[in-house]
Chain A
Amino acid sequence: MTTVPATAAARGPGTWAFRWIVRGLLFGVAGFAIGAAMAAAIRTAAGAEPWDFEQNFTLGYMVALPAWLLGIGVWERWAREWLGRPVADAGPSDWRRYFAFTLDHKVIGVQYIVTFVALFLLAGFLAMVLRVHLMVADGSVLGEHLYNNVMGLHGIMMIAVAVASLAGGFGNYFVPLLIGARDVAFPRLNALSFWLVPPVAILLVLSLAFGGFDSGWTAYPPLSVRNASGQVLFNLAVITFGLSSILGGMNFLVTIHKLRAPGMTWGRLPIFAWSIYAMSWIALLFTQFLAAALIMVLLDRIAGTAFFDVSNGGAPLLYQHVFWFYSHPAVYVMVLPGFGVALEVLTHFSRKPLFAYRWAVAGFLGILGLSGVVWAHHLFVAGIPAELLAPFLVTTELISIPTGLVMLAALGTIWMGRLWLRVPMLFALGVVFSFLIGGITGIFLADVPTDMALHDSYFVVAHFHYTIIGGEIFALFAAIYYWLPKMTGRMYSERLGQIHFWLMFLGFNATFLPMFLVGFGGMNRRVASYEPALQDLNVLVSVMAFILGASFIPFVVNMVGLARKSAPRAVANPWQARTLEWQVSSPPPLENFPVLPVVESHPYDYGGPAPRHAVLPGVEPEAAQ
């Protein structure tokens, strides 16, 4: 490849790979010290003890975060220009660019994917710990406090994975390629979004050293106002992550609106790009409500506000409304890109046009529209006024209509197709089956009477694992197996991939189907101990969960195997797919396309009259191989 810019030599080959991260950390620590000292000075001036952990830490972090970004290089170019220093913008261009601040959307995509797959495996390991704990009924393995903390950590880490792995990772890498663009609209902002993630991880791990957070990922006050100080770190982490999500969503919107190649009309936009588009509106519009809710909790703790303190006129229910005003739409931030990947893979591997493409797009936009008016179904038993129950029951059931359109597109696409059952296709079919169960069990939770019985029970746990693992995680692995040859230029082992799929699919269903029964049996969620009568079922669930966990061993082996020198090379278009990313080399060149492509027809017209989706003017199709 001829993608190495001249600046690489200027950096010199001896540059240490982690120097930018180390500089960021040093700046961050220095910033923290300055912020904490400022807080101490203010407190002293006010006549108080200089050290109050939560106040000093919060102010310290508020300085540490921009200092970390400064150190990692977000404002390097501006700072150098401002100070009259020579501007060296490109950063490293060899493998070290994966550990540095770079502008290439493909590098940032890989950074997201590797970070969040690693986070997924770690949070999955925590799930194994939880299942070991739950094999005995009395909660003696971890004890209550540790169990609550591990459970909260598993929850928030998996939420982060589900929000950012597909959208941040594959959205970043492939949306520009799919729409025929050279990069996203704001590359610098894109990198900033990614580099906001490491502080989130550091805070969450660090929170365990300060008592952790035993209020779960939902952080309901007043509990979250009066528990250990780890809660402050949790709030700061999630607020930071939300900022990353908002900026990422804004970037995708502008990119898809402004940077589509000539001929890439809205009616020809690949379905994955459509799903990212709908997802981005939700991320942009709603994430701020999560930040608002968590900031109110934070202020109650460090500034003495009383948003949720009843004795001073506060209202604990206020939090639940504001929190779910984001956190229900967040479900669609997770699963919309999953739907997009699933439909994308289904159509390529069925060798058929995507069935009812426009209706599927309408489904995405319908989900986007309805996502903001269903939040109170999380509050059916929270003590909200009874008049609110019926309207939210209806809006929640309504959302099954656009979701049904996505289902129609999936089923219509495989119907009468020529199904090529390679690993990505298996995972895409897994999305359809698993999300189906997630959707149908959702009907029972949208219905107020049945929800009153099932709310906060293991039925809910099983339900949302079916929607999120079904709608996002299966799609994540479909995306990994589908696009990995393109990203790495190498081909993984099909056999290991199939073993991964079948172990994961069977282990997943064998884990979560019995979990519905655990819920019917009256086991409430988030408990470290439970009634001994339910122990047999829980042991079954745990053993099956270990099979689910073991399914990721062949995955890791497969991925590590790609690093071998002897790993088979991938051709430019191993799946004979029509979309644009497959018309360039594997991996794609730095500038994505040697010339800007011209889009001629619909991306999925397999067997249709148009022979191709797009052309690269002046470039022979063979050259891409």
Chain B
Amino acid sequence: MRRHVLAVTGLWILLTAAGIWLTQFELLPPPASDKGEDIARAFRFLLLLSVPVFTFVVAVLTYSVLRFRTRGQPAADGSGSGALIYGRGAVPVAWFSITSALALLIMVYPGLTELPKIAAIEQNPDLVVKVEAFQWAWRITYPDLALETTREMVLPVDESIRFDITSLDVVHGFWVPAFGMKIDAVPGLTTQMSIRTTTVGDYSSDPLFRLQCSQLCGGAHAVMMLPVRVVTRDAFDAWVAASISGGPTASPIAGATQLSISADKILFSTDRLEAPANKPITIAFDNQDVGVFHNIAVYEQGGDLIGQRTEVVLGPVAQTLVLAALSPGTYIFKCDIHPTTMVGTLEIK
């Protein structure tokens, strides 16, 4: 017995040393936020704790299988049994005490100590970013800068940032892998997350810099992604200035007639649009119906589709339909989802 205990202890120490050596290889990617660093610290603590636990069981398993195996069939009379150990003595008591201490004192330690920091919400951050999730895109608003974008999320480095997150339809998840943290976007609720950015980064060179929906939200969940750029303050200010002067919104087609229409309560704002003949047309379609699918498309009187139709997506969303020049006449525009109630005429003169 003593020989076996010594041997398995040796094996355990050997495996543990190997395991500790292996932990030098980083598993979590390098964090780009202060809280990501806290999380990495907690991760490392638990990793070091789990190595000896894992190797203990593996050592006993391996040693037992190699050392105590027999080939013969056991005898019916009970002879040839293993050692008569019932495990009623001090061993289970010791095991229970040690595992209880591990669980109650050590395993909970990194969580309980880091938690107040991790969960803390900054009341006066350097930058507030409002995040609205909807199937299947993100709308990023910078309330203090009167700036809104659905193309990328740009953040200044070395500043405290608070995200105020909500959803307009189903449950989504706000996750930038580089920052280490995530929190769900819940309809009817504003969830918050505070971080301080610590490194510059860009989705185009590091895929961890992306705002990824982490909660299954149907259809295009996988591609509900927004590139993230963390830049210097100067670059951020330059980006803001460029955006406010008309950068991110689609530049209108030269010489096109610009029409606009909106949808609300499953009705179009008008049932009649007018445009001159022989000029391209853009129709800015503003679907204001929260959680309702709409699109817009233009048809010949006979029913043939003209050009492209816009994609059927849940509101609220803004879309633009671009049409080539049309000859004079009366055309039909409608929402393909509600063709009987959301329909109108497009007069070309």
List A residues at the B interface (Cβ < 8 Å).
139, 144-145, 147-148, 214-216, 218, 220-223, 226-227, 310-311, 314-317, 350-353, 355-359, 381-383, 386, 389-390, 393-394, 397-398, 400-401, 404-405, 407-409, 411-412, 414-421, 429, 432-433, 436-437, 440, 443-444, 446-450, 452-453, 455-457, 516-517, 520-522, 524-531, 533, 573, 575-576, 606-608, 611
Q: Tell me which of B68, B80, B115 contacts A389 (CB under 8 A).
A: B115
A601 CB, nearest partner CB in chain B, Å? 12
Given contacts A389-B119, A418-B74, A520-B28, contact A411 B46 (CB under 8 A): no
Q: A415-B60, A449-B38, A455-B214 are in contact. Are A383 and B82 (CB under 8 A)?
A: no
Instruction: Name the CB-closest residue of A to B74.
Output: A576
Listed by A's residue number, 19 A-B pairs whose Cβ atoms lie within 8 Å are A220-B170, A222-B171, A311-B290, A317-B186, A359-B87, A381-B214, A383-B186, A393-B111, A405-B99, A407-B57, A409-B87, A416-B85, A418-B68, A418-B82, A447-B42, A449-B39, A453-B181, A516-B27, A531-B207
A444 vs B100: C-alpha distance in the bound complex, in angstroms?
17
Structural contact, B68 and A416, CB atoms closer than 8 A: yes
B75 CB to nearest chain A CB (Å)? 7
Cβ–Cβ < 8 Å partners of B102 in chain A:
400
Are B64 and A415 closer than 8 Å at their CB atoms?
Answer: yes
**Contact (Cβ within 8 A) A144 B219:** yes
- B220, CB-defined interface residue at 8 Å: yes
Return the chain B residue nearest A440 by Cβ. Answer: B50
Whether B65 sits at the interface, judged by CB under 8 Å, is yes
The answer, among A421, A527, A606, for a CB contact under 8 Å with B65, is A421
Chain A residues within 8 Å of B299, by CB:
none
Complex CA gap A143/B181 in Å reads: 29
- Closest Cβ neighbor of B38 among chain A residues: A449
Which of B110, B208, B219 is A447 in contact with, Cβ under 8 Å? B110
Let me know if B88 is at the binding interface, CB within 8 A: yes
Find out whether the CB atom of A400 lies under 8 angstroms from the CB atom of B103: yes
B216 — which chain A residues lie within 8 A by C-beta? 148, 214-216, 218, 220, 223, 525-526
Of residues 76 to 92 in B, which have CB atoms within 8 Å of A's CB atoms?
76, 78, 80-88, 91-92
Q: Is B184 an interface residue (CB 8 A)?
A: yes
Q: Shortest distance in angstroms between B227's beta carbon and chain A's nearest beta carbon?
A: 12
Query: A401, B103: Cβ atoms under 8 Å?
Result: yes
Alpha-carbon distance A317/B166, docked complex (angstroms) = 13
Q: Is B236 an interface residue (CB 8 A)?
A: no
In the complex, identify which listed stretch (B138-146, B187-195, B245-253) lies at the interface while the others stay far away: B187-195
Residue of B nearest to A409 (CB): B87
A525 to B192, CA, bound (A): 22
Given contacts A404-B95, A415-B60, A576-B75, contact A220 B171 (CB under 8 A): yes
Given A400-B103, A414-B68, CB of A408 within 8 Å of CB of B95:
yes
Knowing A144-B220, A355-B86 are in contact, say whether A405-B92 is a contact too (CB < 8 A).
yes
Q: Is B201 an interface residue (CB 8 A)?
A: no
Bound state CA distance, A310 and B170, in angstroms? 10
Please name all residues of chain B whose beta carbon is closer than 8 Å to the beta carbon of A446 when the two chains form the complex.
107, 111
With A520-B28, A607-B82 already in contact, the answer to whether A453 and B36 are too (CB < 8 A) is yes
- With both chains docked as a complex, state the minimum distance between the C-beta of A602 and any C-beta of chain B, in angstroms: 9
> In the bound complex, what is the Cα–Cα distance between A432 and B54 (angstroms)?
11
A-B residue pairs, 9 tightest by C-beta: A607-B81, A310-B188, A522-B177, A356-B87, A417-B82, A352-B82, A527-B222, A355-B87, A416-B83
What string of 1s and 0s marks CB contacts (under 8 Å) between B161-202 and chain A?
Answer: 000000001110101011011111011110100000000000
B-side binding surface: helix, strand, loop or mixed? mixed
A159 smallest CB distance to B (angstroms)? 15
Interface residues of B in 206-223 (CB under 8 A from A): 207-208, 210, 212-223
Residues of B within 8 A of A529 (CB): 222-223
Chain B contributes a number of interface residues (CB within 8 A of A) equal to 91
Q: Is the CB of A421 within 8 A of B69?
A: yes
- Which A residues are CB-close (under 8 A) to B213? 524
Smallest CB separation, A618 vs chain B (Å): 21
Structural contact, A223 and B99, CB atoms closer than 8 A: no
Chain A residue nearest to B69 (CB atoms) is: A419
- Of B29, B46, B74, B87, most buried by chain A (CB within 10 Å of CB) is B87
- A351-B80 CB under 8 A given contacts A414-B64, A421-B69, A449-B39: yes
Tell me how far the C-beta of B82 lies from the nearest C-beta in chain A, rounded to whole angstroms. 3
B218 touches A453 (CB 8 A): no
Asked if A608 and B218 sit within 8 Å, CB to CB, the answer is no
Closest residue of chain B to A516, judged by CB?
Answer: B27
Question: Across the two chains, which residue of chain B brings its CB closest to A310?
Answer: B188
B222: which A residues are within 8 A, CB to CB? Answer: 139, 144, 147, 527-530
User: Roughly how many angstroms separate A444 CA and B217 CA in the complex, as a whole number?
Assistant: 25
* Apart from A214-B218, A414-B61, 4 more pairs, CB < 8 Å: A447-B46, A522-B178, A533-B207, A606-B78
**How far in angstroms is the closest Cβ of chain A from B287?**
16
Interface flag for B118 (CB, 8 Å): yes
Q: Is the CB of A383 within 8 A of B99?
A: no
Shortest C-beta distance, B201 to chain A (Å), equals 12
- Does B14 sit within 8 A of A, measured CB to CB? no
Contact at B76–A449, with CB atoms within 8 Å?
no
Question: Chain A residues near B125 (CB, 8 Å)?
Answer: none
> Min CB distance, B16 to chain A, in Å?
14
* Chain B residues closer than 8 Å to A573, beta-carbon distance: 76
Chain B residue numbers with a CB within 8 Å of A420 are: 69-70, 72-74
Question: Which residues of chain B are near A390, meaning CB under 8 Å?
Answer: 111-112, 115
Contacts of A409 in B (CB 8 A): 87
Query: Cβ of B82 and Cβ of A527 under 8 Å apart?
Result: no
Complex: chain A residue closest to B174, CB-CB: A381
Instruction: Report B302-334 CB contacts with A as 1/0, cut-off 8 Å.
Output: 000000000000000000000000000000000
Contact partners of B82 in chain A: CB under 8 A: 350-352, 416-418, 606-607
B1 CB to closest chain A CB (Å) equals 7
Is A316 within 8 A of B188, CB to CB? yes
Residue B111 contacts which of A386, A405, A448 (CB distance < 8 angstroms)?
Answer: A448
Please, which residues of chain A bring their CB within 8 A of the CB of B112? 390, 393-394
A394's closest neighbor in chain B, by CB?
B108
- The answer to whether B184 touches A215, judged by C-beta atoms less than 8 angstroms apart, is no
A381 with B170: CB separation less than 8 A: no
B163 to chain A, nearest CB (A): 12
Given the known interface contacts A386-B119, A404-B95, A416-B82, the answer about A524 and B214 at a Cβ–Cβ threshold of 8 Å is yes
Counting chain B CB atoms within 10 Å of each CB, which of A227, A433, A447, A529 scores highest? Answer: A447
B4 at the A interface (CB under 8 A)? yes
Alpha-carbon gap, A447 to B112, bound state (A):
8
B residues near A359, Cβ cutoff 8 Å? 87, 92, 95-96
Tell me, in angstroms, the Cα distance from A400 to B88 when the chains sit together.
Answer: 21
C-alpha spacing A421/B4, complex, angstroms? 20
Cα distance, A586 to B335, chains bound together (Å): 69
Set B76, B83, B182, B183: member contacting A576, Cβ < 8 A: B76
Cβ contacts under 8 Å, B85 to chain A = 352-353, 355, 412, 415-416
Q: Measured between alpha carbons, how far is A358 from B119 in the docked complex, in Å? A: 41
Cβ of B38: which chain A residues have Cβ within 8 Å of it?
A: 449
Question: Residues of A contacting B87 with CB < 8 Å?
Answer: 353, 355-357, 359, 408-409, 412
Looking at the assembled complex, report how far the CB atom of A339 sits from the nearest CB atom of chain B, in whole angstroms.
15
Once the chains are docked, how many angstroms separate the CA of A421 from the CA of B73? 10
